[in-house]
Amino acid sequence: MTERTFSAILAERATADPGEPLIVDAAGVMTASDLDAAATALAHELITRGVDHDNTVAVSLPNGRDFVVACFGIWRAGATPQPLSPELTASERADLEQIAPPAAAIGAPPASAGVAWLPHVDIVPREGSLPDVAATCWKAPATSGSTGRPKIVRAAAPATLDPSRPVAAFLPQRATQVVAGPLWHSAVFTYAFRGLLTGHRLVVLERFDPARWVAAVEDHRATWGLLVPTMMTRLLRLDPSERTVERVASIESVLHMGAPCAPELKRAFLDWLGAERVDEVYAGSESNGLTHITGTQWLARPGSVGRPIGGTRIRIRDRAGGDLPAGENGLVWMRRGASAAYAYVGAASRRDDEGWDTLGDIGHVDADGYLFLHDRADDLINRGGDKIAPALVEAALESHPYVEEAVAFGVADDELGQVVHAAVRLVDGASSPEIMAHARARLGRRAPVALHVTTAPLRNDAGKVRRAALARRFAPPGD
């Protein structure tokens, strides 16, 4: 079988089995024929509104069938979907539209005048066939902004696929997939739609809730899902009676990625679900390279994110660009293929002339080529020359049973340059001094000098955090 357009793949699936349930959400079941018809109606409307081949259309909708309809309608019109968080502020949206104005926006209104706006995807069908076309870029998500000002990452791959071939070893060709994260997030978007195009059924949650995730797996006999570490933490904090192994017995494998996973959390998760059913991948929205490790491999190398796959090569370099030997920490560079898998809009790529690229993470490889990450270079806290990884501090804090969530960040200090602060969400009745004592016992001089207790989530639904924003919020300059 050869590559075909996303539009053709959906049409063929609807023809082969019109009543096949493709999406299950809060509104019920959406069949293949329902999705096909809704996508066609939307594509007609977009074209009528002036959307042309290879235009970008912003999609800012909550999780559910409408998000899926929007993207397939855009692909059927020959355009590129740009998934955006519905919670973007007006200024964040205006910044994105300034660097790359979309031809149309679906869901949340655009910030710019002259952009066609469709508040919903419930479009009256109209007569007429549409040409089978594919955009030359299949997605153009905006980054979370966790590493600086948000930017747009345009995929180099077109909206075509061979549905007879597996996308990756860790993504089964056919599955019932629980979509627990926000569809606007690049990884969730990628695996939900790549899965749907190769035979998945999607069970879409409006937002992650641990009890609802377990119930969704049990009720729909789900076989695959994508998680981030904050979700894993919340699942393990369910009462054991609510997350019995029998309730999640249908799961064949889960994939986690998107943020560092503390070894204690990972080990506890493997103990619950079974090491043979857990995969981890390290990658970015840029798809400039990736590594993979199974749960069983991780038990032999705790803390690793695996070895390179899919043609990826890895080098660890010092600040001068020189290669470092196994075991030494440096900037992680990856190379995958002769050409770039992405193009930035609104930012400069770090990709060099030889095709090596970096996400800005610090790590090392062992003698067998397994990669270990320590943190992002930009996030490291420089305490008197001692470079402290926030992930190390967060893992120590979150190992306390009364800490729901922790985020560490650096605050300016006249004597040391920076000192460690942390924002935490605590279980009701928890004592800050007890948490501080726990941190000092585990971290010594690397422990936070201050805890900032909050009741609001510190990470978004995709598990991402903006440390600089937290530093400004909890420890503004001059304090």
Q: What per-residue confidence (pLDDT) applies to 335?
A: 92
**H-helix or E-strand containing 76?**
helix 65-76
**Weakest mean pLDDT among 200-204, 218-222, 351-355:** 351-355
Per DSSP (E only), the strands in 165-263 are: 176-179, 201-204, 224-227, 253-256
Q: Report the DSSP pairing between strands 304-309 and 56-60.
A: unpaired
427, burial (CB in 10 Å: exposed 0-12, middle 13-18, buried 19+):
exposed
Beta bridge partners of 357: 334
List of residues 6+ apart from 373 with CB closer than 8 A = 260, 282, 305, 332, 361, 362, 363
Beta bridge partners of 376: 361
Residue 122 has pLDDT above 90, yes or no: yes
Q: What is the pLDDT of residues 6-29, one digit of tens each?
A: 999 999 999 999 999 999 999 999
Q: What per-residue confidence (pLDDT) applies to 479?
A: 53
Of 405, 398, 395, nearest in space to 456 by CA: 405
Look-up of token digits 């994260």: 181
What is the arithmetic mean of pLDDT over 35-39? Answer: 97
Residue 381 has pLDDT above 80, yes or no: yes
Pairwise CA distance, residues 266 & 282, whole Å: 15
59 in Cβ contact with 107 (< 8 Å): yes
Longest dimension (CA), the chain: 72
pLDDT band at 203 (very low <50, low <70, confident <90, very high): very high
DSSP state of 199: T
The tokens for 34 are 């329902």
The tokens for 366 are 């062992």
Q: What per-residue confidence (pLDDT) applies to 477?
A: 58
What is the arithmetic mean of pLDDT over 339-366? Answer: 87
Residue 218 has pLDDT above 60, yes or no: yes
pLDDT band at 194 (very low <50, low <70, confident <90, very high): very high
* Higher-confidence position of 354 and 478: 354
**Weakest mean pLDDT among 73-87, 205-219, 398-412:** 398-412
What is the arithmetic mean of pLDDT over 289-303? Answer: 96
Q: What per-residue confidence (pLDDT) applies to 340?
A: 82
What is the arithmetic mean of pLDDT over 276-295? Answer: 91
CB atoms within 10 A of CB 357: 22
Q: What per-residue confidence (pLDDT) applies to 1?
A: 66
Q: What per-residue confidence (pLDDT) applies to 147?
A: 46
Of 218, 141, 238, nearest in space to 181 by CA: 141
468 in Cβ contact with 150 (< 8 Å): no
The tokens for 308 are 């390179």
Class of domain 260-378: mainly beta
Residue 70 has pLDDT above 60, yes or no: yes
What is the arithmetic mean of pLDDT over 241-270? Answer: 94
**H-helix or E-strand containing 80?**
strand 80-83
Helix ranges (H only) for 103-149 are: none
pLDDT band at 478 (very low <50, low <70, confident <90, very high): low
**Weakest mean pLDDT among 66-75, 325-334, 448-457:** 448-457
Q: What per-residue confidence (pLDDT) applies to 146?
A: 45
Residue 325 has pLDDT above 90, yes or no: yes
124, burial (CB in 10 Å: exposed 0-12, middle 13-18, buried 19+):
exposed
Pairwise CA distance, residues 374 & 389, whole Å: 6
Pairwise CA distance, residues 241 & 218, whole Å: 14
Q: What per-residue confidence (pLDDT) applies to 476?
A: 62
Average pLDDT, whole number, for the chain?
91
| Confidence (pTM) | 0.85
Domain 380-474: give its CATH superfamily.
Answer: ANL, C-terminal domain (3.30.300.30)
What is the arithmetic mean of pLDDT over 321-343? Answer: 90
Q: Could you state, in order of their start, the residue ranges of all structural domains in the chain?
A: 260-378, 380-474
The dihedral built from the CA positions of residue 349, 351, 355 and 360, taken in this order, carries a sign that is negative
* Higher-confidence position of 77 and 99: 77
End-to-end CA gap in the chain: 64
**H-helix or E-strand containing 309?**
strand 304-309
Beta bridge partners of 113: none
Residue 128 has pLDDT above 80, yes or no: yes
The tokens for 55 are 């235009």
Residue 121 has pLDDT above 90, yes or no: yes
What is the arithmetic mean of pLDDT over 207-228? Answer: 97
Q: What per-residue confidence (pLDDT) applies to 81?
A: 98
What is the arithmetic mean of pLDDT over 243-256? Answer: 97
Pairwise CA distance, residues 234 & 131, whole Å: 46
Q: What is the pLDDT of residues 224-244, one digit of tens each?
A: 999 998 899 899 999 999 999
